[in-house]
């Protein structure tokens, strides 16, 4: 059999924020042996007004909190937009620097290619001179060897 929670009306009213004196009077007025009077109706009305006031205060506090959060969000949004603008400017600067570096690299690569082409031509000239010298020495040696031989 499920266990039932038996809490008194006084406990419930104090739990939801009604002051203890009013909660005691309300609990007393709902006693089955108690005869309801106009004063009891006033106690009920006071309880309802107290709850309504508390709810309106809570709603007012919540509205103020929402306004505060909305203001913070607007401030953060404008700050983020400023940061984004700054980052875009930084990106443009970096791209310009990259273009400059690429242009310098192209110039340096062209200079290296020109130098390598000059070295290659020098190599072939030196190699041709060496082969010519070897051939001429071989031919002179062969000629004199054939005459004496």
Q: What is the pLDDT of residues 64-90, one digit of tens each?
A: 999 999 999 999 999 999 999 999 999
pTM tops 0.85, yes or no:
no
pLDDT of 45 reads 85
pLDDT of 127 reads 92
Q: What is the mean pLDDT of each run of 10 residues along the chain (149 residues)?
A: 61 81 77 71 82 90 94 93 92 95 93 87 91 94 85
Is the torsion defined by CA of 43, 48, 51, 57 positive or negative?
Answer: negative
- Residue 43: exposure state from Cβ atoms within 10 A (0-12, 13-18, ≥19): buried
CB atoms within 10 A of CB 44: 15
């Amino acid at each position: 059999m499920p266990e039932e929670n038996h809490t008194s009306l006084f406990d419930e009213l104090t739990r939801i924020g009604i002051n203890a004196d009013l909660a005691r009077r309300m609990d007393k007025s709902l006693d089955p042996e108690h005869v309801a009077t106009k004063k009891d109706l006033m106690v009920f009305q006071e309880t309802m007004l107290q709850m309504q006031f508390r709810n309106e205060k809570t709603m007012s506090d919540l509205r103020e909190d929402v306004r505060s959060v909305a203001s913070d969000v607007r401030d953060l949004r404008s700050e983020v937009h400023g940061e984004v603008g700054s980052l875009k400017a930084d990106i443009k600067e970096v791209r310009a620097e990259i273009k400059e570096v690429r242009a310098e690299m192209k110039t340096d690569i062209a200079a290296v290619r020109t130098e390598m082409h000059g070295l290659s031509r020098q190599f072939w000239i030196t190699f041709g001179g060496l082969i010519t010298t070897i051939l001429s020495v071989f031919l002179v040696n062969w000629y004199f060897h054939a005459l004496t031989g």
